[in-house]
């Protein structure tokens, strides 16, 4: 399973994700993101684009190994976290993937 650290920053930056156009509050924040508790309120029913493991199986497994796919996703997580000054404890350790 992808080692998501549950920082929540991806759910607050969805404006470029076409599959989530209807979810965007207009400021890039998903309408299903609970900012107080830092979590998705429809987690069990979230769309496929929000499911990294399913996206790998359905769309990317002929292009990347799972490890490569995880690393590329984790790099984006860490860049977003840096950009938004998220606590360093949330960084994904790419060496451990």
Contact residues for ligand SF4, defined by CB under 6 A: 4-11, 14, 20, 23, 30, 32-33, 40, 42, 46, 50, 77, 80, 92
Shortest Å, Cβ 14 to ligand SF4:
5
Q: What gap in Å lies between CA 28 and CA 1, rounded to an integer?
A: 26
**Residue position matching structure tokens 């309120």:** 41
Task: Give me the least distance between CB of 41 and ligand SF4, in Å please.
Answer: 7
**H helix intervals, the chain:** 52-55, 66-83
Hey, how many other C-beta atoms are within 10 angstroms of the C-beta on 74? Answer: 21
Nearer to ligand SF4, 31 or 65 (CB): 31
Least separation in angstroms between CB 63 and ligand SF4: 19
């Amino acid at each position: 399973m992808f080692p998501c650290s549950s920082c929540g920053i991806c759910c607050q930056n969805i404006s470029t994700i076409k599959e989530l156009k209807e979810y965007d509050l207009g400021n890039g924040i998903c309408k299903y993101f609970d900012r107080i508790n830092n979590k998705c309120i429809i987690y069990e029913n979230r769309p496929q684009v929000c499911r990294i493991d399913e996206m790998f199986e359905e769309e990317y497994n002929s292009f990347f190994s799972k490890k490569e796919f995880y690393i590329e996703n984790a790099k984006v997580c860490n860049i977003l976290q840096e950009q938004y000054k998220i606590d360093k404890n949330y960084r994904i350790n790419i060496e451990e993937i």
